[in-house]
Amino acid sequence: MRGGTAYKAFRVGALVLVVLGLLTPLIWMVAASLKTNVDIYDASKALLFSPTVDNYKTVLEQANYVTFIINSLWVAFASTVLSLLLGVPAAYSMSRFTMKRSALVVLMARVIPGVSLLVPWFYVFSNLRLVGGFTVLVLSHMFVSLPLVVYIMMGYFDGLPTELEESGQVDGLTPIGAFRRITLPLSTPGIATAGILAFIFSWNNFMFALVLSGAKTKTLPVAIFDFVGYAAIDWGGLMAAATVVTVPIMVIALLAQKYVVSGLTAGATKG
């Protein structure tokens, strides 16, 4: 496997194919967002076309996307911060005091289909007249991000030796003081991982916002879905909208690659 010129050539070829297969559709999307609708229909202009930013103008100015971007940012930010505030101490307790059953309850959330929560939420929240507001949206996104934070942070705290906390307590810190001054600063990479993933999952969330958001609180994925409601699809505009939602998250993933990968594969090798 390690030697052989033939294998090396095969490997290079296969890897090139993999990269092309993964990236070409995304490049195609961005390219289409820079074309006029006439050029999108013209196969001869697949790659050679004169780029235009008109689609982005349509999306940002006429279709009100600036509001949706702010909504998405706000919901993702609020749900991430709240999930970290609740999830990090909980994960600490569950890891240090081995609260297996409690952890299991929180992790069940990964298994339950979102729709089965949406039905009762919708019932209760519409009776409270909360549907369409930010509160419900943030709460619903926390349903995804809180278990994620607990899951990632439990793994992180499990791997963090207790000796440092103990020596801090010998030096006069209370247990909570030791958690705050010693464990938390040491956990920054774990918290970054959990936070970035929680943000990405909230930003990408579609189903909860589809039901629970209103005209004023609509997030980007729902706005994109609504884009196709009209008679003929404005492909250029649609691709510009899709690019607006996808590219920021891809840039974050690019910059924080290490954290994103470790979060996505958290606990995978423990079996």
| Closest CB 51 distance from other proteins, rounded Å | 17
Query: Hey, which residues between 7 and 26 contact other proteins (CB under 8 A)?
Result: 7, 11, 14-15, 18-19, 21-23, 25-26
Binding to other proteins, residues 54-113 (CB under 8 A): 86-87, 89-90, 92-94, 96-97, 99, 102, 105-106, 108-113
The answer to whether the CB of 187 falls within 8 A of the CB of 88 is yes
Question: Least Å distance between CB 197 and other proteins?
Answer: 9
Residues 127-146 that bind other proteins (CB under 8 A): 127, 139, 142-143, 146
Nearer to other proteins, 52 or 93 (CB): 93
- Alpha-carbon distance of 181 to 222, in angstroms, equals 42
Taking CB under 8 A as the criterion, the residue among 46, 53, 66, 70 binding other proteins is 46
CA distance 241 to 223: 9
Runs of H (alpha helix) within the chain: 5-33, 37-41, 54-57, 65-96, 100-108, 114-127, 134-158, 163-170, 175-178, 184-186, 188-204, 207-212, 220-227, 235-255, 257-264
Using left for φ > 0, alpha for ψ between -120 and 50, and beta otherwise, residue 132 falls in left
Residue whose CB is less far from other proteins, 41 or 64: 41
DSSP-derived letter for residue 45 is: G
| Site residues (CB under 8 A) for other proteins, limited to 158-197 | 162, 165-166, 169-170, 172, 174-176, 178-179
Distances from the Cα of 212 to the Cαs of 14, 120, 190, 235, in angstroms?
44, 12, 31, 27
By the rule CB under 8 A, 268 interacts with other proteins: yes
CB neighbours of 215 closer than 8 A, spacing ≥ 6? 132
Applying CB under 8 A, which part among 48-56, 59-67, 187-195, 246-254 lies near other proteins?
246-254
Closest to 267 in 3D by CA, of 136, 129, 158, 115: 158
In whole angstroms, how close is the CB of 135 to other proteins at the nearest point? Answer: 12
Closer by beta carbon to other proteins, 66 or else 124: 124
The contact mask relative to other proteins for 206-235 (x = CB under 8 A, - = no) is xx--xx--------xx--xx-xx----x-x
